[in-house]
Chains A and B, each alone.
Chain A
């Protein structure tokens, strides 16, 4: 019994910008369903008052001084780009606006 439906898979694939075919959607829904069922056990392990750990070793206040350091040259910055123009990375038209 899993809540991973094909529609959910499509939604997740869209959120993570991965194109998926219909076949892949079916397959993924199945695979993920099995995985999710098995990992859902973590829910049982914990009660409300356990504090989550996001850093294995407790550390805090790690800062650097506000100093300017070396940057890449424009050429170096663009060296990996599939497309560039006028010193900038060139991308295809953007669908939505923010």
Chain B
């Protein structure tokens, strides 16, 4: 049984398909482990054995009847708690939605159900995905399986800790400025943000509509590719979803090769400000690639200097509008002050009680950025920076096939270290933000342990818009180089989670 939980999703899928194990066995293994160890990592906010196992049972029955719904049929999955599910609460990590059970499934949840993947539970996250450490969750922080005193990244720290702690073989996350990729880097796992529009956002509780994307959180590149194949595709419910399919990522992964590959290294994201161990892991990645005959080119993206600033104007602005609907009337928390309050006061009191400090900060900041008189200087200018970033990337991609950067400037920091310094927290996303601003795909794969603290580091692969397949191919190649060196994925080096730790 303990072997099952360290298997990759694709391995599990094969075992289920050949009927060596059942989906119920696999789901039970992960569910029981999750139930037993969740108190250590707080990966999950909601766990329901019945719904998980009944879905697993249905998957087994379908398979017995000759119906295999996908390449991941029967493999259990964890889902970030900002994706609506009709059979579990969906809180987005906030008190304002405590206990809210949606009346509809998000499109990606519909797809994974239809693909035969039982849902183990809903995972913890920074409130409304605002954060990079999961310390802003209203339900408590998630913890990094590598060191339970450290953050597992955010906003998707629940998914990343679940996957890296083997509480789930794979998970769904969302990424607005790095919320899948940063957690992947600091937990030694794999996380991908597809091209904007590749995956439907219908049913994803919106943070910044023009930046959000749903993506896979896994331990291997192949698993991520398989999961993206399940969830991607045009959705008529999402007017921003791409009309055409981007092809199969899993197929791309199987056909990856080095020859002719040109890799760019972004001048603005390769030296100062990165932890020494992170930098040396990155340098190691580059030198491995060079040994394979890959051409390495330094590219100049000057607008990247303004990406964090632009992001922290665009995100709060869009979020302030997206979060206006939380007003106590149709769903969610209602707080009525004493006396005969007007609805205005009920709304204000509800939002005061229901939103955490980071959310309030960003809503007020966003309201400011959109205010008349300030729009041009702030939101308007930030949208122009996006254009410049796209131009810089277009220019870069005319010289190279993919760009590589360290995914994160540091390894996992300690819980509490940056929580009172919003600006310091914002800088965690410095390398991941440009991809969201430009809409291009990005993913992180592990590239070693930092020498000074023995904690995981990740390398980020960026590809042009709609070239997700290319990104997966390069990711697979890099992953291959490391698993050859280590004999196993990086995650095998993680200290095991044991009940009683922490």
Direct A–B contact in the complex, CB atoms closer than 8 angstroms: yes
A residues whose Cβ falls under 8 Å from a Cβ of B? 4, 8-9, 12-20, 24, 28, 31-32, 34-36, 38-43, 45-46, 50-57, 59, 62, 64, 72, 76-77, 79-83, 89, 91-95
Contact pick for A80, options B330, B341, B423, CB 8 Å:
B330
Q: How far is the CB of A80 from chain B (nearest CB, A)?
A: 3
Please tell me if the beta carbons of A72 and B331 are within 8 angstroms of each other in the complex.
no
**For residue B440, which residue of chain A has the nearest CB?**
A56
Among B57-65, B164-172, B302-310, the one that faces the other chain is B302-310
B221 at the interface (CB under 8 A from A): no
Identify which of B305, B364, B387 contacts A52 (C-beta below 8 A): B387
Could you name 28 residue pairs across A and B whose Cβ atoms are closer than 8 Å? A15-B367, A16-B363, A19-B349, A19-B351, A24-B360, A32-B368, A35-B423, A38-B312, A41-B306, A42-B306, A43-B381, A45-B305, A45-B384, A50-B384, A51-B387, A52-B386, A53-B383, A53-B384, A55-B240, A56-B390, A56-B438, A57-B466, A59-B243, A79-B101, A80-B103, A92-B341, A92-B343, A95-B343
Complex Cα–Cα for A17 and B324 (A) = 8
Interface string of B317-344 (1 = CB under 8 A from A): 0001000100111111010100011111
A45/B385 contact (C-beta < 8 A), A18-B351, A62-B239, A95-B343 known: yes
- With A39-B313, A72-B103 already in contact, the answer to whether A45 and B367 are too (CB < 8 A) is no
In the complex, which residues of chain A have a beta carbon less than 8 angstroms from the beta carbon of B367? 12, 15-16
Structural contact, A56 and B210, CB atoms closer than 8 A: yes
Say whether A54 contacts B210, CB under 8 Å.
yes
Pick from A14, A19, A45, A93: contact of B342, CB under 8 Å: A93
User: Does B361 reach chain A (CB closer than 8 Å)?
Assistant: yes
Shortest CB-to-CB span from A24 to chain B, Å, is 8
Residues of B within 8 A of A4 (CB): 368
User: Which 7 pairs across A and B sit closest by C-beta, in order of nearness?
Assistant: A56-B439, A80-B331, A52-B383, A82-B334, A19-B352, A53-B386, A46-B384
Q: Which residues of B contact A42 (CB under 8 A)?
A: 306, 309-310, 313, 378, 381-382, 384-385
Q: What residue of chain A has the Cβ atom nearest to residue B353's Cβ?
A: A19
Complex CA–CA separation, A50 to B240 (angstroms): 23
> In the complex, are the beta carbons of B385 and A76 less than 8 A apart?
no
Contact partners of A93 in chain B: CB under 8 A: 340, 342-343
Q: Which residues of B contact A (CB under 8 A)?
A: 100-101, 103, 195-197, 210, 236, 239-240, 242-243, 303, 305-306, 309-310, 312-313, 320, 324, 327-332, 334, 336, 340-349, 351-352, 355, 360-361, 363-365, 367-368, 371, 377-378, 380-388, 390, 422-423, 437-439, 465-466
B324→A16 contact, CB < 8 A = yes
Chain A residues, CB < 8 A from B384: 42, 45-46, 50-53
Which of chain A's residues has its CB closest to B102's CB?
A80
A53 & B364 in contact (Cβ 8 Å cutoff) = no
Q: Is A45 a contact of B381 with CB atoms below 8 Å?
A: yes
Query: Given A12-B367, A92-B336, A93-B342, does the pair A28, B380 have CB atoms closer than 8 Å?
Result: no
Bound-state Cα–Cα, A64 to B237, Å: 9
In the assembled complex, the Cα of A29 lies from the Cα of B371 at a distance in Å of 16
A40 to B385, CA, bound (A): 12
15 further A-B pairs in the complex, CB-CB below 8 A; given A17-B344, A92-B336, A95-B342: A12-B364, A17-B347, A20-B352, A28-B360, A35-B312, A36-B368, A42-B384, A45-B306, A50-B388, A55-B210, A56-B439, A59-B240, A62-B240, A91-B346, A92-B346
Taking CB atoms, residues of chain B closer than 8 Å to A80 are 100, 103, 330-332
Q: Which of B103, B344, B360, B388 contacts A76 (CB 8 A)?
A: B103
Expressed in whole angstroms, the Cα–Cα distance for A50 and B312 within the complex equals: 20
Asked if A53 contacts B390 (CB within 8 A), the reply is: yes
Contacts of A13 in B (CB 8 A): 364
A91 to B342: give the CA distance in the assembly, Å.
Answer: 9
Inter-chain contact B329/A18, CB cutoff 8 Å: no
Residues from chain B with Cβ under 8 Å of A40 in the complex: 309, 377-378
Q: Which residue of A lies closest to B313 (CB)?
A: A39
Q: How far is the CA of A38 from the CA of B210 in the complex (A)?
A: 22
